[in-house]
């Protein structure tokens, strides 16, 4: 990881639509590892939402190293549920049919990873992961209204009808959907911490706060090296989020004392790390049980 690039003053990339911004990011940093993409993307982002996109794309590449360098998305949710038993999207003979109701960056994504059922009638639920190209025959995106949180990041509904796909090897749940939850938490936290570090550096925040953010980034780098399905990795990730939560009062004070532009962005988007808090709590409880320890 080229930490010098993160630590040195950087000119942020201008705000643009997601495709243009992401292309500019890759032009600036070349062919990065997932962690480099996340940390430098977060540092160069002008908004928390664009930092999130860097984190999300880094997580996708950690999940699927052969992913194209264009924008992608993982499509799981149906009727507000990610449980395999609640899914109706199916894959058969490399053809996908169904609907996914919440797809991040759907309109801008070039490729889509789709979780779909493939078990025969009466058999236990079995998921596969298929890859389709946005705009290919049988693949349609329905753009949904912008959300109050990160309004610059589009989301949509994916409609599939006889869409030809590539099936990725392995089990769709255990090898992809389940570990992605941990990868996304790790890389989005890293991207947002990198954005905060950049704001702090440019705004001359107290040195102690900047150093604590840097320590958080170093912790993210270590957790990114762990297996996303391991109990010890989940425990370490919980420690990072606890570390981040302990900084909230200092961050609020620093934003309140600085440029109102940064404070407004933070006020609008700081809740993005709370979205999956319930799932993280369950993973922590399971990890403590598996490791046989009490904290």
Same domain, 149 and 228: no
Contact of 19 with 108, CB cutoff 8 Å: yes
Could you say which of 167, 187, 220 is where a domain stops? 167
Same domain, 219 and 255: yes
Contact of 130 with 114, CB cutoff 8 Å: yes
CATH of the domain at 150: 2.40.110.10
93 φψ region: left (φ > 0), alpha (ψ -120 to 50), beta (else): left
pLDDT at residue 144, as a whole number: 94
141: tokens are 């995106």
What's the domain range around 108?
72-167
- Mean pLDDT in residue range 152-177: 96
161: tokens are 């009808």
> Does pLDDT of 1 surpass 70?
no
- Give the tens place of pLDDT for each residue, 41-95: 999 999 999 999 999 999 999 999 999 999 999 999 999 999 999 999 999 999 9
CA 115/CA 132 separation, integer angstroms: 11
State which H helix or E strand residue 113 sits in.
strand 111-117
Contact of 275 with 286, CB cutoff 8 Å: no
- Give the tens place of pLDDT for each residue, 225-274: 999 999 999 999 999 999 999 999 999 999 999 999 999 999 999 999 88
Contact of 37 with 257, CB cutoff 8 Å: no
Same domain, 182 and 36: yes
Could you say which of 136, 167, 198 is where a domain stops? 167
Same domain, 143 and 83: yes
190: tokens are 């890293």
Could you say which of 147, 167, 187 is where a domain stops? 167
Give the total number of structural domains in the chain. 2
């Amino acid at each position: 990881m080229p930490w010098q690039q993160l630590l040195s003053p950087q000119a942020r990339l201008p705000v643009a639509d997601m495709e243009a911004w992401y292309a500019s990011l890759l032009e600036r940093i070349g062919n990065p590892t997932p962690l480099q993409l996340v940390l430098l993307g977060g540092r160069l982002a002008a908004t928390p939402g664009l930092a999130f996109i860097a984190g999300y794309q880094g997580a996708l590449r950690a999940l699927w190293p052969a992913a194209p360098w264009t924008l992608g998305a993982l499509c799981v949710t149906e009727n507000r549920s990610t449980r395999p038993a609640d899914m109706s999207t199916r894959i058969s003979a490399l053809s996908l049919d169904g609907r996914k109701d919440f797809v991040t960056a759907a309109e801008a994504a070039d490729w889509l990873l789709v979780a779909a059922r493939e078990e025969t009638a009466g058999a236990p639920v079995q998921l596969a992961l298929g890859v389709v190209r946005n705009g290919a025959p049988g693949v349609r995106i329905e753009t949904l209204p912008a959300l109050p949180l990160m309004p610059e990041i589009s989301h949509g509904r994916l409609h599939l009808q006889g869409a030809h796909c590539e099936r990725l090897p392995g089990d769709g749940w255990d090898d992809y959907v389940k570990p992605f939850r941990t990868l996304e938490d790790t890389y989005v936290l890293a991207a947002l911490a990198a954005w905060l570090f950049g704001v702090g550096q440019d705004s001359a925040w107290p040195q102690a706060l900047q150093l604590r953010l840097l320590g958080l980034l170093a912790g993210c780098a270590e957790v990114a090296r762990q297996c996303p399905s391991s109990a010890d990795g989940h425990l370490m990730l919980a420690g990072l989020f606890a570390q981040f939560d302990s900084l909230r009062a200092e961050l609020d004070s620093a934003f309140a004392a600085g440029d109102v532009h940064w404070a407004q962005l933070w006020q609008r988007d700081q809740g993005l790390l709370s979205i999956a808090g319930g799932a993280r709590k369950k993973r922590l409880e399971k990890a403590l049980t598996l490791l046989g320890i009490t904290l």
